[in-house]
Amino acid sequence: MNPGARMLILGKQGAGKGTQAVRLSRHYVVPHISTGDTFRAAVRSGSEFGQLAKQYLDAGDLVPDDVVIGVVQERLTRADTSHRGFILDGFPRTVRQAEALVEILAPRGLDLAVDLEIDTSHVLRRLASRRVCSDCGANYAVPDNPPRVRGICDVCGGEVLQRDDDTEAAIRHRLEIYERQTAPLIQWYEQKELLVPIHALGTADEVTERIVAEVDRRQRDRPTT
């Protein structure tokens, strides 16, 4: 059995973070922690927290740092992440969140930050065709990679829908926020020698193979002190 992984996935909206996080969580047998899925579930539940989150999600704005950091801190202190690790998807999105993550993960820290590299022209096309399971977050694309039964998730049987925030205006707004607030994290993780850049075009299988090959190589070469 492989030794697990403590890692996160960076990348623009539509780079394939959700798709790859689901696959990597199966491969490394670790929980997939998606802040976006957590907020969407809260919105669906209609709770007070969900109503607060909905305003940000619908506008394509970032949920305030303190709120997101609290959610991730609570999740990462659960026992299922302590032995084999986790795949973080959609967190961190700001330098402040990345700094908070350092404290949350101390003393063991993070193994790697995978960055899925893709041009904006490609992601605009992908986002228009993206469909997502409203229960487990599995990603599909129409017409190229639909669920086997229309509208029903292959993985969990949940409802497969277009996300409310995948409208053209909200997508452009989210990409602007990405450039301003999240792209600086690439350099931030590079300076910490944790960054693993991965070319994100190709089939989902090809991208997963690239990530696993590179992650395993880095884990093998890691000093064992």
* Residue choice 27, 31, 50, 56 for contact with ligand AMP (CB under 6 A): 56
Q: What is the total count of residues that contact ligand AMP (CB under 6 A)? A: 18
Q: Is the peptide bond before 64 cis (omega within 30 degrees of 0)?
A: no
- The length of the chain in residues reads 225
54 is catalytic: no
Q: Which of 6, 9, 12, 91 binds ligand AMP (CB under 6 A)?
A: 91
Nearer to ligand AMP, 170 or 216 (CB): 170
Tokens representing 14 are: 């539509």
Rule CB under 6 A: which of 144-183 touch ligand AMP?
A: 165, 174
Which of 218, 136, 121 has its CA nearest to residue 175?
Answer: 121
Q: Is 23 a catalytic residue?
A: no
Q: Which stretch binds ligand AMP (CB under 6 A): 91-99, 101-109, 190-198, 207-215?
A: 91-99
Annotated catalytic residue 17 = yes
Is 108 an active-site residue? no
**126 DSSP 8-state letter:** H
* Candidates 84-92, 117-125, 199-207, 208-216; binding stretch for ligand AMP (CB under 6 A): 84-92
Q: How far is the C-alpha of 209 from the C-alpha of 214, rounded, in Å?
A: 9
Q: Does residue 188 belong to the site contacting ligand AMP (CB under 6 A)?
A: no
60 binds ligand AMP (CB under 6 A): yes
Contacts of 94 (CB under 8 A, 6+ apart): 62, 65, 181, 182, 185
Nearer to ligand AMP, 32 or 174 (CB): 174
Question: Residue with structure tokens 């931030």?
Answer: 188
Q: What is the largest CA-CA distance in the chain?
A: 51
- Contact between 110 and ligand AMP per CB under 6 A: no
